[in-house]
Structures are given as C-alpha cells and as structure tokens.
C-alpha cells in the first residue's frame, strides 16, 4: 500500500472533496432523522451510518477504498494516487 500513513497506521485514501462530502453527509445523517421524527430504530440505524461516514471523513481513511485499491487522496505533488 502506497501512501501516507497516520499515527494509527491507516493509509489516508480519502481526498479533500470526498472528505468534505463525508463530513457533511455524516452530520446530516445524525441530525436529520430525529428532527423529522423518524422512528427510534430507524433514527438509530441512520445515525450509526452517519457516524461511520463522519468518522471516515475525519480520519481520511475508508476501509472499502483500501480493499478496492482506490484512493481519492493526493500525494505531495497534488496528483491522485493509484493502486498500481
């Protein structure tokens, strides 16, 4: 795996725009269901997914991207990294 690893040893594979989208989507998925009055089970499930998406945006690592060899993060030259 090429790329910059953080202190936890996770390779950063989530780039700038992808990161912002994940953070905003995560916040929306946590806040919106209770505001709309959804059932408690649906609210809890959607909020859990939102929390995971938010966390991935914050730490800049997506396990699915790692498994697929995908990265939207840029290297030091500003180019997107590839898995090859």
Q: State pLDDT tens for residues 22-31.
A: 999 999 999 9
Q: Is residue 32 in a domain?
A: yes
Q: In Å, what is the CA distance from 64 to each residue of 31, 71, 74?
A: 25, 10, 18
Q: Is residue 77 in a domain?
A: no
Predicted confidence at residue 10, as pLDDT, reads 85
Q: Is residue 75 in a domain?
A: no
> How many domains does one find in the chain?
1
Predicted confidence at residue 32, as pLDDT, reads 97
Q: State pLDDT tens for residues 30-82.
A: 999 999 999 999 999 999 999 999 999 999 999 999 999 999 998 644 555 55
Range of the domain at 21: 16-68
């Amino acid at each position: 795996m090429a790329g910059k690893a953080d202190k936890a040893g996770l390779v950063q594979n989530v780039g700038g725009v992808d990161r912002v989208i994940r953070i905003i989507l995560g916040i929306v998925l946590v806040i919106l269901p209770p505001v709309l009055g959804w059932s408690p089970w649906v609210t809890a499930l959607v909020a859990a997914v939102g929390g995971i998406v938010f966390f991935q945006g914050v730490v800049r690592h997506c396990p699915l991207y790692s498994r697929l060899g995908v990265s939207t993060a840029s290297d030091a030259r500003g180019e997107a990294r590839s898995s090859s």
